[in-house]
Amino acid sequence: MKTGSDAVQTHVKPKKPIYWSRIIISALSYLVLIIGCLVVLIPILAVIFGAFKDSKEIANTSALAIPKNWVFDNLKTAFIDGKVLKGLGNTAVIIVISCFGTIMTGTMTAFVIQRFDSRMTRFIKSAFLVATLLPNISMQVTVFQIMYKLGLYRTFAAPIVLYVGTDIISIYIFMQFLSQIPTSLDESGIIDGASYPRIYFSIILPNLKPAIATVLIIKFVGIYNDFYTPNLYMNENDPVVSTVLYSFISGKRTQWEIVFAGIILCIIPTLIMFLSLQKYIYNGLVSGAVKE
Partner 1 sequence: MNNKTGKKVSFKNWIKTYEGQKFYISVLFLLIPVVLLVVFTFTPAVNMIIYSFQDRDKYGADVTWVGLENYRTVFSDAGILSTFKNSLYYLCGSIVQQVLALLVASILCSKIRAKGLFKGILFFPYLMNGVAVSIIFKKFFVKGERGIVPEGTLNYLLSAFGLDPIKWISAESPMLANICLVFVSIWRYVGFDIIMYIGAINSISPDLYEAADLDGANPWQRFKYIVFPSIKPIISLQLILAVKGAISVFEIPYIITGGTMNTSTFVIDTINTAFSKNKVGLASAMAVILLVIIIVVTLLQKYLFRESNDKVKRSKRKGADKR
Residues 86-115 that bind partner 1 (CB under 8 A): 105-106, 108-109, 111-112
In this chain, which stretch among 74-82, 123-131, 173-181, 201-209 interacts with partner 1, using CB under 8 A? 123-131
Q: Which of 1, 4, 23, 141 binds partner 1 (CB under 8 A)?
A: 141
276 binds partner 1 (CB under 8 A): no
Of residues 210-249, those binding partner 1 (CB under 8 A): 221, 224-225, 227-228, 232, 241-243, 245-246, 248-249
Task: Verify binding: residue 290, partner 1, rule CB under 8 A.
Answer: yes
Give the rounded distance of the alpha carbon of 47 from its chain centre: 22
- Per CB under 8 A, 160 contacts partner 1: no
146 binds partner 1 (CB under 8 A): yes
190 binds partner 1 (CB under 8 A): yes
274 binds partner 1 (CB under 8 A): yes
Extract long-range pairs of 90-96: CB within 8 Å, 24+ residues apart.
90/156, 90/238, 90/239, 90/240, 91/223, 91/224, 91/240, 91/241, 93/156, 94/156, 94/159, 94/160, 94/163, 94/223, 94/240, 95/219, 95/220, 95/223, 95/224
Residues 17-56 within binding reach of partner 1 (CB under 8 A): 18, 21, 25-26, 29-30, 32-33, 36-37, 39-44, 46-47, 50
Contact status, residue 268 vs residue 289, Cβ threshold 8 Å: no
Answer for which of 7, 185, 271, 272 binds partner 1 (CB under 8 A) is: 271
Q: Does 277 participate in binding partner 1 (rule CB under 8 A)?
A: no
State yes or no: residue 202 binds partner 1 (CB under 8 A): no
Q: Phi first, then psi: give them for residue 68, nearest 5 degrees.
A: -70, -55
State the number of binding residues for partner 1 (CB under 8 A). 100
Distance between CA atoms of 44 and 8, rounded to whole angstroms?
Answer: 44
How many CB atoms within 10 Å of residue 38?
A: 10
- CA-wise closest residue to 259 among 103, 100, 7, 53: 53
Task: Tell me if 258 contacts partner 1 by CB under 8 A.
Answer: no
Of residues 45 and 93, the one with the C-beta less far from partner 1: 45
Among 20, 100, 148, 201, binds partner 1 (CB under 8 A): 148
- Region of 151 (left: φ > 0; alpha: ψ -120 to 50; beta: rest) is left
Longest CA–CA span in the chain (Å) reads 77
CB of 73 to partner 1, least distance (A): 20
